Amino acid sequence: MKHHVYIVSFFIAYLISVINAINNEEKDPFQHKERLDKQWEYVLGSRKIFGNQEILFKNSSDDAAISSSCKSELTAFENGLKERQLWALKMADASSKIPSGILEGNLIDLGMYDECLAVHGVWSDIDVYGRHCMYKIGFNITGIMVKGTLSTCLPASCTVKDIMIFLNQTISRIPSRYTQNVTLGGVTCSRDEPSELDTESIVYLVIFGILVGFLLVCTVCGEYCKMTDSTGSYLETLSQFSLIKNGAAILSTERKKGNLPYIQGLRFFSMSWVVLGHQFLYAFSLTPNVNAAHVLEWIQSWKSLYIFTAPYAVDTFFTVSGFLMTYLFLKEMSKKPNFNIPMYYIHRYLRLTPSVLVVIIIAVVFVPNIGSGPLWEQSTAYSIHFCRKKWWSTLLYIQNFKEKEQMCLPHLWYLAVDMQLFWFSPIILYPLYKMPKIGLWFLSGLLHVSMIIPAYIIAVNEYRMVSFTSGRGLAGTLFGEAMQNVYMVPHTRATPWLIGIFLGYEIVNHNRRLTKRIVFAGWLLTCVFFTFCILGTRYFMDPEYEYSVVEETLFWVSTKLFWGLAIAWIIFSCVYKQAGLISSVLSWSFLLPLSRLSYCVYLVHFVIQSMQVGMVRLPGYFSNYFTWCSYFSSYTISIIVAFLLSLLFESPLIVLEKMLLRRK
């Protein structure tokens, strides 16, 4: 064990010397021989400190908590090293070493995961198996906390608590003048034994098998009804669940009468943008990169602009959601003026929730056992821990308010906000139908309130909703409190949704004649709005930008308004056939099936991307090219999984809902 602790202490001391040099703005930290000599003096002295087992196991107040099995296996490991046994050498070899390129941001070393887990040695009748663990060491660099992630291979009987004791002892023996900016982060370890199917997994597999078997029977019934022209029978009812029939419906490119094909295009392109944004988020924040220092340069350059404007795709979804909700509601009320509020809510809940439940089950039960890797336990923490505890808040769509820092499947915050706005919608829609003038005044007032509330929250808390590179820390940015208090709550995201409601009312109740001047003015303003949002984002990402609470507040509020108006004009001009090429592109027939899958793609893509990160064995090199390659692979897999999810769960439940509620 002393050899391993010596390596850990050497690595930490080396990192501290580099970090202290950077904090003191030294151009070349290796030129300052006096400081390095002191660090080396400590490192060399650590041989004596950690070479004494009595200090490590007997004289420490923390050692009483170390399990006896861990102590005995560590002794076996140390003696195996002394005797140069191959299994012990592999165990030491699998742990982190000092990597090259620390000054370029290479603060992550994953070790050799598979080599560690393959270790099995015997010393003096003691069986030793390898267990791979990751731990984080935090360093404060010019006000920004940077975490180095390292690995260690220890006997499988050693717990996370044991490893925390070892690491704390290592840091405690470093002189305090060097460790004042150092913090020890969390520790995660691979599972003690190979994963096996437990009772829970078997139960869900049986249920899944029964469902697939039922759908196959329904498929056979459907083919039989086609051959025999059976109508009005139970077989015809069962044939509605046919995999062939529902699969053809999902993949169909036929446009139904009254359909709005350009909405399908907006959905697809917006979803593609969201998935791309999450892929880059994983690439520069969670994926281990040897050139992490270059990531900040990339973020502050023009190259990253199309990623940091991806959140506007969410505003597109809010606008489309408000528009379709109002459009369909007013169309339905014109045919059947009775408004059944319970069925209004039940239909929405049944339409969205079953697929969410299936994804939660997959994430909780099956994902942890699908793969493995150095970062697997970290990347799947949301499914292993949070989803088991907070699944109910996700199914009730209140997870963005209930302990939001431990949100199950965090990307589903959008569904919560959209559902919460939907709960509020009858208060807006019914007056619009019954008393249009009062309804419009009320809607206008809500639009103003939706801009005042976020402005107040941002200004009071001095949040930075766009910038985060001005040296003020990350707590008040979209990587911290601002995400939870502004980005993921309905009262600050309602502006584009309300604009969509205005648009739906306008299109249903009026048949405008658009002159060339109106069309020209509309497209000119749309271009101005898009340009303002995009170039404004670039302005706040510039490294020379100095924080201004007034600028940040006004920009956040105005972009929600401008982006919503721009999307609304695109839909409006498509309805009146004034969008030309844009309407043609958005209405491409091959986008229809992809649009139908967009909801399921949204549900599964985040899980697939986290699995990609979790199975990484070695650090990579961050670049646009490699991230785009990862994006296309994860997006393609997401579409395939989304098709299966829609075919096996979403489509049958939609058919069942229609049967139960007798909806046309």
Q: 621-654, pLDDT tens digit by residue? A: 888 899 999 999 999 999 999 999 999 999 998 8
Q: Which of 271, 273, 321, 306 is nearest to 568 (CA)?
A: 321
Q: CA-to-CA distance for 235 and 245, rounded, in angstroms?
A: 14
Q: Would you state the pLDDT for residue 454?
A: 93
For the chain, the residue count is 664
Residues 6 or more apart whose Cβ sits within 8 Å of residue 628: none
Angle CA 417–422–424, to nearest 5: 100
| pTM (2 d.p.) | 0.84
Residues 184, 138: contact at Cβ < 8 Å? yes
Q: Which of 509, 497, 319 is nearest to 424 (CA)?
A: 497
Q: Which of 219, 194, 61 is nearest to 130 (CA)?
A: 194
Angle CA 37–40–44, to nearest 5: 140
The two tokens of residue 168 are 């704390």
| Backbone torsions φ then ψ of 94, nearest 5 degrees | -75, -15
Q: Which of 77, 151, 160 is nearest to 114 (CA)?
A: 151
Q: Would you state the pLDDT for residue 45?
A: 37
The H or E element that residue 184 is part of is strand 182-189
Give the other-Cβ count within 10 Å of 99's Cβ.
15
Please classify residue 176 by burial: count the beta carbons closer than 10 Å to its beta carbon, then call 0-12 exposed, 13-18 middle and 19+ buried.
exposed
Q: Would you state the pLDDT for residue 575?
A: 92
Q: CA-to-CA distance for 463 and 480, rounded, in angstroms?
A: 9
Mean pLDDT per block of 10 residues along the chain (664 residues) reads: 49 55 46 40 34 31 64 86 87 82 77 89 87 79 65 86 77 62 75 64 88 89 75 75 90 83 93 94 83 81 90 95 94 82 90 92 85 80 75 91 82 94 94 91 95 93 75 60 88 95 92 88 96 93 85 93 96 92 91 93 93 87 90 95 94 85 56
**What radius of gyration do the chain's Cα atoms show?**
29
Q: CA-to-CA distance for 171 and 191, rounded, in angstroms?
A: 26
Q: CA-to-CA distance for 217 and 241, rounded, in angstroms?
A: 9
Q: How far is CA 199 from CA 196, 361, 365, 381, 429, in A?
A: 10, 14, 10, 21, 48
The two tokens of residue 97 are 């070493």
Residues 6 or more apart whose Cβ sits within 8 Å of residue 105: 289, 290, 291, 292, 293, 294, 295
Helices (H), 336-435: 341-361, 367-370, 376-379, 381, 387-395, 413-424, 426-434
